Structure 1
Amino acid sequence: MTETRADPRTDPPPRGSERATLLGFLTYQRQTLALKCSGLNHSALMSRSVPPSTLSLIGLVRHLSDIERFWIRRALSGSTDAPLYWCEDSPDIDFVFPCVPEQAEAEALLVRSSMDAWESEMAYSDAVLSHVGLDDAVSAGRHGVLSVRWILTHLIEEYARHNGHADLLRECIDG
């Protein structure tokens, strides 16, 4: 008989306030990506399971780090901090990185720094989101003026969509 592990994710509150529900779903989606990345070595996290696509689990982590950074640090907080990976000349750069199996130490460093950056962006986001109202609104460049509610919903949507990619990547890795 195969032993099944308990799901480590926290379910959103079934009858919580709007704020608690939105934050609960954001946490759940973040935990889902972390779960998809768990138990894998750096080579597996960097593997591109469907060549010639550059999509990988660590690429998703890097992409979502910049998503949180843009929407919370830059749009909501007004920071001028540059994106971590994204640039206008190469918008998919978060998925493009050297993949050289014989350089295991460099791969391990890239994975660790990417995971650390993601954790840092999530912590920053959580700190900001803890003291803003859902009806607060900010100008988000070409996106116009948006409420915190819209930003939270968009973050949940981004994670949910990319967690679908993570499911497929993890299936390819696990066989």
Structure 2
Amino acid sequence: MKAFIRKYQIGLTVLMLILIGYILFYNPNKDPHLIAVQDILKRGNNMIKKDIIYRDCTRVEFNRYPELSDKFTEAVKMKMVSEYYDESKPFIGQPFTSVFPPKGKSCFKNMKLVNLEYSYDIHGNYEAVFRCEKNGVGEELKVGYFQKSCSYTAYLTKWDFPVGKYTMVSQP
């Protein structure tokens, strides 16, 4: 009888150790905040590594910000402006204007994470801002967790753009 009880205790101990190991090392209920941060960092790094901006990323529309009118004029002179139409919205009659780096001056592949924050606007959203600067031209990419949104712009470094001010992502 003692041998049976001893085997039962050993079996129960082994089962408890397996259960504790499962709980500690394989927790299917990972922290949702950690999942959000991992997701935006992964998407941002994938775009940078592949040297592409996802199709659903918005571009900063300089014509929407009156304080950027002088900077926009300078960007036009430097041939950094591109006009495009947003196919997802009905044609309004005016193209959107965005700023892109001149040919050969893009540093997109060398972007680094400069800001990771939790936005408290409305319900909150995790946002990561990646930036790079090369030959007087900078680029900024902001990636948000809500609706997998992202935004991109280019700028001249002398403009001293505040980090993440003009690149907007969707908020819940």
TM-score, normalized by length of structure 2? 0.32
Q: Which has the higher contact order (CA 8 A, sep 6+)?
A: 1
TM-score, normalized by length of structure 1? 0.31
Pick the structure with more helix per residue.
Answer: 1
Pick the structure with more strand per residue.
Answer: 2
